[in-house]
Each structure stands twice: as structure tokens, then as C-alpha cells.
């Protein structure tokens, strides 16, 4: 028995209990306390994982992808540890082990599925040895916290190369910023991607992060775009191009909160149905499926697990209020926000819309990114959009942005009181409500919404709220 580890675990568990007692989530504090007592706590506990540690990183989709992987491995009968609450800094990763550890310093775990913040990857990879690393996508996100994308990808690339050759990368083939990691790290790779669909376009007006080849600097050409810089690309300068994917989704049909598609993998194909919205959730599912395929999980079991999946907090989580649906969505960058607006437009019926925009440290102090979101698309559809309620510390800013996007000012309302704003959007005489929230507003919005409406049932036992 390592007495320092035991002391750290005991202190972390007490911190968790006290945090929950005060109504907090306790998703990071146990790890912070444990690491203060013994800095090697994470390394000591992670070394006990019997089979493999899977790390999930990238800009968008980390939490959903991690939850999907956890669900697949749990359905396969494995004992797993995961930071399902979405606390993805080193303290949150450590806390996930603390909660599962005995006071003697032992854990009983086959797999660990760990969501890791992009900037935290070097720290976490020094403390544990993953067998698989999933990279979902890279978009400009909170520049005052995460730097430019070249620096973010460079930091992750260096940390992966320093971690040895025992890692398999699971990469999004459709994002050139992600696909480049095959060549730049020399590590084995499993690619996943999406073939052309009805939503694919030959030209794009959205903000794109990768307009130039990451190797030679020549402009990238595209056969089509899915969203952002995701699509089928090629470089006429050096030949860098979208690689063939081991797992590929085709013929996606996304409507009324359901995704249907065909999955093609290892010269096989299967039908996939999920109770989610958006192409981005299909990407998350493909990443989880690719991980399961790599780990040898049976295909029918994975398909059934994904079919049962339900969105967790802020990931188009669904509530029911007086016979109507309300959807809660986390937004944090232009690309993610644009996809959220696409969902808002694509679903049939009249809608009321709520925005909670904060500019705290975790949100990023610089909210100029709101002006890169394509709110102008709402101008043509505003007859189905009854009201836009704006709240949060920068509620006036989002209201101004909507005005400049062409939304009639008589439809824009600012509420300083977030509770009143949420009550108002739920009571609007529309078929459904959409609520968009930045990071630090998400948990307060969820608590208020949860007190007023009924949350749709969880995905699986053990999956808790994600922040």
C-alpha cells in the first residue's frame, strides 16, 4: 500500500462528498485535492488499467464521443472508468479515477475512456500511457485560452510523438487538420469519415480553418464540404488528400431528431439508427464505432448501444414541457454554432429560441467570434421563429448581433434574469423551444430547465450529467 496515494484518495473522496453536499458536481475538486497531496496520484492509478486507456480530444464532440465509447464498452461487459461529467483538465481526469478507487489505492478497471482538453494533452500524456487516441476535429475556439490552431495541433503532435509508438490514432479523415497526424506522427491510424450527402455542398460560405495544405502551403481544393473545413479535399501542390476511411457513413437521413445511415467498414455494411440530431453527432458515432471496431467489440452490440444513446447535458439534450419539446445545446465556437442553427432550421414546426451568452474565463473573454456565426441564415426562416430571448452576461451583445443579421427587432427580447427568460421561452406558443448556451451558463440553464421541464431518459445507467 502506498500511504501517500491512500491519503490523496481519502482526501479526494471527502472533497467529493462535501462538494455534492453543497449542491455542486464534484467533477474536478477531488482530483485537485488529491494532486495537492500526492502529485503522482493519476500516474499510480492509471497504471492499473488492465486493457487499455482511450483518450478523446479535439475541439467539438469530445464529451459525446467519450460517452458513446463508454456505452459501447459497458454494453460489452467491461468494467470502465470515464470522466463522463466532461471535466477534461488533469484534475477532472484524476477525479474520475479517485471516485472508482479504493482507499488502499487499487482500482478494478478494464478500460479507461478519458476526455482530455486539447491544451491539457501534454500534461495528461506524461501521466498515463494510452493505447488509443481519438482526435475529432480542430476549429478556432476561445483564442484567449487555446491560441491559434497551428500551435494547438503542434502541441498535441509533440506530446503524441513523446508518448512512444504504442498508440493507435483514431482520426477524422474529413478534417485535414486531423488527417495530417498520420504523416506527422508516424503512428498507426484508423480513419473514419462521411461520404457525400444531400447536405454536402461544392462551395462553402462558412468560416474554414484549413484553407491551405498543412504540408506545402498550397490552397486546398474540395470536391464537397460537409461543414467548416470538413469534406473531401486535396492538395494539387503535394498530393495530400482526404485518406480512405476504415469506417465511413453513407446515405445519411437526418430528420425529426433521428439519424439513419449506412455504415461501411472492413468490406461490410450495416444500418445505423440513432435518436440524435446533426451531422456532428454522426461523426461522433463513427469515432466511437471505429474505437469499438479497433478493440474487437462485436458489431451488433455496438449498433444497439448507439441506437440506445441519448444526448447528455448540453449536447442537444431533450426536455418535455407541457407536451412540447425543448432542446439544450452547448455553443462555443462559430462552426459548432452554425451546425446548431442548421438543426434549428431543419426541424419542422414553429420554434422559440433562447440564448445564454457569458464571457467568463471558461467561455473565453473575447466573444467577437459571435460575429463569425452565420446568423443571417435565420433571416429567411424567421416566420417559423417566434421569438429570440437573449440572456447571460453578454445578452445585449447577442441581441445586437441578431439585429444586424436581419432579425426583426420586435422578435428580440433581452432578459437579465435567466430564469424569467427560460420561463418565457418555454411558455411561448410554439411547437418547440431551442436553448443555446455557452460553457458557464450551461449548468445554470440546465438546473433551471430541469426544475421546469421533464428531462428525457438517460442513455445508460451510470451516465451522469456532463458539463
- Summarize pLDDT for 399-425 with one digit per residue, the tens: 999 999 999 999 999 999 999 999 999
Taking residues 453-465, what's their average pLDDT? 53
Task: For residue 312, give the nearest of 194, 419, 442, 423 by alpha carbon.
Answer: 442
Binding-site residue ranges for Zn(2+): 213, 216, 235, 238
Q: Which residues are catalytic?
A: 366
Q: With beta carbons less than 8 A apart as the criterion, state whether 354 and 391 touch.
A: yes
Q: With beta carbons less than 8 A apart as the criterion, state whether 105 and 123 touch.
A: no
Taking residues 152-181, what's their average pLDDT? 95
* Dist. CA 358–CA 367, nearest whole Å: 9
Query: For a pLDDT cut of 70, what percent of the chain falls above it?
Result: 93
Q: Band of the pLDDT at 463, cuts 50, 70, 90?
A: very low
Question: 437 in helix, strand or coil?
Answer: strand
Angle at 104 between CA 99 and CA 106, to 5 degrees: 60
* Dist. CA 82–CA 80, nearest whole Å: 7
- Cβ partners under 8 Å of residue 128, min gap 6: 42, 43, 46, 47, 53, 112, 114
Number of H helices, E strands in the chain: 16, 18
In 10 A of CB 39, how many CB atoms? 12
* Dist. CA 180–CA 193, nearest whole Å: 14
- Summarize pLDDT for 361-405 with one digit per residue, the tens: 878 888 999 999 999 999 876 789 999 999 999 999 999 999 999
- Cβ partners under 8 Å of residue 315, min gap 6: 63, 64, 281, 329, 330, 466
Q: What is the pLDDT of residue 32?
A: 95
Q: What is the pLDDT of residue 87?
A: 87
- Summarize pLDDT for 19-61 with one digit per residue, the tens: 888 877 768 899 999 999 999 999 999 999 999 999 999 999 9
Check whether 462 has a pLDDT greater than 50: no
Task: For residue 463, give the nearest of 283, 329, 317 by alpha carbon.
Answer: 317
- Summarize pLDDT for 253-305 with one digit per residue, the tens: 988 778 999 999 999 999 999 988 888 999 999 999 999 999 999 999 999 99
Q: With beta carbons less than 8 A apart as the criterion, state whether 310 and 94 touch.
A: no
- Cβ partners under 8 Å of residue 325, min gap 6: 257, 318, 319, 431, 432, 433
Q: Band of the pLDDT at 465, cuts 50, 70, 90?
A: very low
Pick the residue with more confidence: 199 or 346? 346
Could you tell me what percentage of the chain is helix, strand and coil, using 3-state DSSP and rounding each to the nearest 5?
Answer: 40, 25, 35
Ordered by where they begin, the domains of the chain are 3-308 (3.40.1190.10), 317-455 (3.90.190.20)
Q: What is the pLDDT of residue 413?
A: 97
Binding-site residue ranges: 213, 216, 235, 238
Amino acid at each position: 500500500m502506498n500511504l501517500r496515494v491512500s491519503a490523496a484518495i481519502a482526501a479526494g473522496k471527502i472533497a467529493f462528498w462535501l462538494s455534492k453536499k453543497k449542491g455542486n458536481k464534484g467533477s474536478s475538486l477531488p482530483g485537485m485535492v488529491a494532486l495537492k497531496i500526492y502529485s503522482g496520484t493519476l500516474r499510480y492509478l492509471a497504471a492499473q488499467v488492465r486493457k487499455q486507456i482511450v483518450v478523446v480530444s479535439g475541439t467539438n464532440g469530445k464529451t459525446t464521443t467519450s460517452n458513446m465509447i463508454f456505452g459501447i464498452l459497458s454494453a460489452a461487459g467491461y468494467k470502465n472508468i470515464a470522466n463522463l461529467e466532461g471535466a477534461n483538465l488533469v484534475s477532472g481526469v484524476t477525479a474520475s479515477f479517485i471516485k472508482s478507487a479504493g482507499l488502499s489505492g487499487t482500482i478494478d478497471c478494464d478500460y479507461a475512456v478519458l476526455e482530455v482538453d486539447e491544451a491539457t494533452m501534454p500534461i495528461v500524456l506524461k501521466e498515463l500511457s494510452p493505447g488509443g487516441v481519438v482526435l475529432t476535429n480542430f476549429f478556432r475556439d476561445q483564442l484567449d485560452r487555446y491560441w491559434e490552431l497551428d500551435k494547438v495541433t503542434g502541441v498535441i503532435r509533440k506530446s503524441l510523438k513523446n508518448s512512444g509508438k504504442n498508440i493507435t490514432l483514431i482520426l477524422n479523415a474529413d478534417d485535414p487538420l486531423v488527417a495530417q497526424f498520420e504523416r506527422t506522427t508516424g503512428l498507426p491510424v484508423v480513419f473514419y469519415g462521411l461520404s457525400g450527402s444531400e447536405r454536402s455542398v461544392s462551395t462553402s460560405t462558412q468560416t474554414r480553418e484549413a484553407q491551405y495544405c498543412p504540408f506545402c502551403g498550397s490552397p486546398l481544393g474540395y470536391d464537397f464540404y460537409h461543414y467548416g473545413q470538413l469534406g473531401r479535399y486535396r492538395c494539387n501542390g503535394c498530393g495530400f488528400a482526404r485518406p480512405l476511411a476504415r469506417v465511413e457513413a453513407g446515405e445519411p437521413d437526418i430528420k425529426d431528431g433521428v439519424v439513419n445511415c449506412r455504415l461501411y467498414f472492413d468490406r461490410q455494411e450495416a444500418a445505423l439508427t440513432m435518436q440524435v440530431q446533426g451531422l456532428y453527432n454522426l461523426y461522433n458515432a463513427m469515432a466511437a464505432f471505429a474505437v469499438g471496431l479497433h478493440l474487437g467489440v462485436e458489431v451488433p452490440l455496438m449498433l444497439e448501444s448507439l441506437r440506445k444513446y441519448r444526448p447528455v447535458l448540453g449536447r442537444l439534450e431533450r426536455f418535455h414541457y407541457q407536451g412540447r419539446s425543448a432542446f439544450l445545446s452547448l455553443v462555443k465556437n462559430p462552426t459548432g454554432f452554425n451546425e446548431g442553427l442548421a438543426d434549428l432550421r431543419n426541424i419542422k414546426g414553429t420554434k422559440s429560441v433562447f440564448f445564454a451568452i457569458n464571457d467568463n474565463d471558461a467561455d473565453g473573454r473575447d466573444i467577437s467570434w459571435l460575429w463569425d456565426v452565420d446568423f443571417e441564415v435565420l433571416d429567411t426562416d424567421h416566420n417559423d421563429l417566434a421569438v429570440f430571448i437573449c440572456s447571460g452576461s453578454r445578452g445585449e451583445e447577442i441581441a445586437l448581433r441578431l439585429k444586424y443579421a436581419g432579425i426583426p427587432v420586435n422578435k428580440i427580447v433581452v432578459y437579465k434574469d435567466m430564469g424569467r427568460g427560460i420561463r418565457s421561452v418555454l411558455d411561448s406558443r410554439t411547437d418547440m423551444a431551442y436553448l443555446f448556451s455557452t460553457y458557464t451558463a450551461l449548468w445554470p440553464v440546465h438546473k433551471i430547465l430541469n426544475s421546469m421541464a421533464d428531462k428525457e431518459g438517460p442513455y445508460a445507467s451510470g451516465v451522469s450529467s456532463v458539463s
